[in-house]
């Protein structure tokens, strides 16, 4: 009888430990999320309390006919694919470099984390100054080496504003990929490379047949995490361009923010946020399905 009681206590112990975290998550994440979801079905312009009402799917239909929403949606895809692509590429090259033996390797591994630990606000302001069309150091350097004939207002042209912000976020985020991929590289048994050498495999064959497949699980998980973060990030865009010029650097979270806090249209802003959530859920579902299939293969 006593052993049964102790067992029950032990059964409840994990739940007791989890309760504060779950309660916190419910209070500060799930309830606001639920409230946002409800808001997305409402006409909820903050300064018109007399007009607050349920409009069901009107906001969702309105978004589909909204030209700015379509620009923001397109930019969100470009933003995610571009930033993640750049971060993966630079992160992979950096990880391969850091995996080799060279003097001061420990210091290099530590320094590479500086962009990652730099707050987004600082990163955004720093890149804004560097890209300044009148006094920016990047223009200065490019003119001095002869690549440019005159200064380019990177953040004032719709063709270059979003790419310029993407470069800034690439700089901030690539160390995360580098560190994660480096951890994956170090887990690969060296015997595999030795066997490949014996078989006469070339460098690119070793990379595509050994390195890449074995790093892939880490890489996919990292890409998934970063995709969610990058998709939701708006601070760097907001500080560097404010979404402009025009709507050229609007992404969905930025558009949602601007509708909420500049237009005070919280209902429509919530609808945009729900669309973004649906987009991210679709991406995550695709990832989970892929992982489950690959596990079945083994």
Q: Which residues contribute to the site for other proteins (CB under 8 A)?
A: 46-49, 68, 132-135, 151, 153, 155-158, 161, 241-248, 258, 261-265
Q: How far is the CB of 48 from other proteins (least distance, A)?
A: 6
Q: How far is the CB of 246 from other proteins (least distance, A)?
A: 4
Which lies closer to other proteins via its Cβ, residue 98 or residue 152? 152
Which lies closer to other proteins via its Cβ, residue 5 or residue 50? 50
Contact 115, 121 (CB under 8 A): no
Q: Please name which of 238, 263, 260, 240 lies closest in space to residue 251, comparing C-alpha atoms.
A: 238
Q: How far is the CB of 80 from other proteins (least distance, A)?
A: 22
Round the CA-based radius of gyration of the chain to a whole number and report it: 24
Which lies closer to other proteins via its Cβ, residue 130 or residue 224? 130
- What whole-number distance in Å separates Cα of residue 268 and Cα of residue 208? 47
Which lies closer to other proteins via its Cβ, residue 169 or residue 258? 258
Q: How far is the CB of 69 from other proteins (least distance, A)?
A: 13
Q: Please name which of 255, 241, 258 lies closest in space to residue 127, comparing C-alpha atoms.
A: 241
Q: Distances from the Cα of 245 to the Cαs of 14, 133, 157, 162, in angstroms? A: 52, 14, 6, 9
Which lies closer to other proteins via its Cβ, residue 54 or residue 261? 261
Q: How far is the CB of 262 from other proteins (least distance, A)?
A: 4
């Amino acid at each position: 009888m006593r052993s049964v009681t102790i067992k029950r206590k032990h059964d409840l112990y994990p739940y007791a430990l989890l309760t504060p975290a779950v309660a916190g998550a419910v209070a500060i994440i799930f309830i606001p999320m639920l409230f946002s979801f409800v808001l997305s079905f409402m006409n909820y312009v903050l300064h018109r309390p007399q007009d607050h009402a349920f409009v069901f799917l009107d906001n969702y239909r309105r978004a589909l006919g909204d030209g700015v929403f379509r620009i923001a949606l397109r930019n969100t895809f470009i933003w995610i694919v571009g930033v993640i692509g750049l971060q993966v590429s630079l992160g992979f090259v950096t990880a391969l470099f850091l995996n080799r033996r060279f003097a001061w390797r420990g210091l290099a591994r530590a320094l590479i984390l500086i962009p990652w630990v730099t707050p987004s606000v600082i990163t955004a302001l720093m890149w804004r100054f560097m890209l300044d069309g009148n006094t920016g150091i990047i223009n200065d350097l490019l003119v001095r080496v002869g690549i440019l004939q005159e200064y380019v207002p990177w953040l004032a042209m719709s063709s270059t504003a979003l790419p310029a912000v993407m470069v800034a976020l690439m700089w901030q985020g690539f160390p995360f990929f580098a560190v994660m991929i480096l951890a994956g590289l170090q887990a690969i048994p060296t015997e595999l490379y030795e066997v490949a050498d014996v078989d006469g495999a070339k460098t690119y064959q070793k990379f595509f047949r050994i390195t890449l497949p074995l790093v892939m699980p880490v890489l996919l998980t990292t890409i998934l995490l970063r995709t969610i973060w990058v998709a939701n990030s708006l601070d760097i865009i907001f500080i560097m361009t404010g979404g402009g010029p025009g709507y050229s650097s609007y992404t969905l979270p930025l558009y949602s923010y601007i509708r909420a806090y500049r237009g005070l249209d919280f209902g429509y802003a919530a609808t945009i946020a729900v669309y973004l959530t649906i987009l991210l859920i679709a991406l995550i579902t695709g990832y989970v399905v892929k992982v489950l299939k690959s596990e079945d293969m083994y």
